[in-house]
Structure formats: C-alpha cells, structure tokens
Structure 1
Amino acid sequence: MVKVWGSSNKGTTACEECGSLYSVVEHRLPVRDKDSANCIVCGHELASWNSTTFPVFTLIEKGKKPQAPDRQEGQDA
C-alpha cells in the first residue's frame, strides 16, 4: 500500500442525484491515481480524478434513492 503524504478536511458535499450527505477528506499521494467514487445509495458518480490528490467520501446521511419513472399504459418496455 502506498503511504498517504497528507490529508485535509474538505467539509461536506451532497449527491446531486439523491441528496445523500457525505463528509469529504482529500488525501495526497506521491504517485498519480486515476479512479472515481460513486454514491453508495444511488450509484451516481460523486467525483473522478487523475491526480496525486483524491477525495474520500464518508456517508453521513442517506438521501432518497431515485425511483424509476412509472411506465405509462401502452408504452413498449
């Protein structure tokens, strides 16, 4: 495992899709990392990066998982 060079608290953020609230801590590595983080409630991408810094999201409060739109009678699936 690569040693983290440092970290800083970046406050909170909410998922744009379901409203789940996350605390965010940014970590710094000595090497570049390419990845992304998704909401654990709805799967929406919270962030993506290709950098030596990356966010770590910790769920504080669950939002409401978006529901699929109701299918109207007469529509093909």
Structure 2
Amino acid sequence: MAQTWTHGSEQNETCPKCNSLYRVTTFRLPTRDSDYFDCQVCGDRIREWNDTEVPSFTLIQRGQHEESENK
C-alpha cells in the first residue's frame, strides 16, 4: 500500500455549473497520479490532475441542477 499524508489545510471549492460545494483535501503521493473529478450533482468536470498532489472531494452541499432543458 502506498504511503500518503495530508498536505496543507482543507479548502472549499464550488462547482462552476451548479454551485455544489465540496471540501477538498490534498494528499501527496510517492508517485504521480493522473485522474479527474466530475461533480456528483451535475457531472461537470471540476478538476483534472497529473501530479503527486492529489485532491479528495467530499460533497458538503448540493447545488441547483436542471435535469434537462427539453423538459
């Protein structure tokens, strides 16, 4: 199992599309990780990374998401 540790303080980040609020904690890994995070509410891409510092997102508050413009 890879060793990880928390790096810095937690911060909040808001989805630009639906305004859902996330708590973001950054972990430092011994090797580079390439991945992305999509909003759990609307599916919009919030962040991509290819780094040894990897964010972990926890949904704090759901934003407003319109299901479809055609309905």
Structure 1 and Structure 2 fold alike (TM over 0.5): yes
RMSD of aligned Cα (Å): 1.5
Give runs of aligned pairs for residues 1-77 of structure 1, distance below 5 A: 1-70=1-70
Q: Flag the structure with larger Rg.
A: 1
Unaligned 5+ segments in structure 2 are none
Structure 1 runs (4+) deviating above 6 angstroms are: none
Alpha-carbon contact 1:15-1:21 (below 8 Å) kept: yes
Task: Indicate the percent of aligned positions where both proteins have the same amino acid.
Answer: 38
1:65: Cα distance to partner?
A: 1.3
The normalised TM-score by structure 2 is 0.87
Measure the CA separation in 2 of the matches of 1:27 and 1:14.
19
1:68: Cα distance to partner?
A: 2.0
The normalised TM-score by structure 1 is 0.81
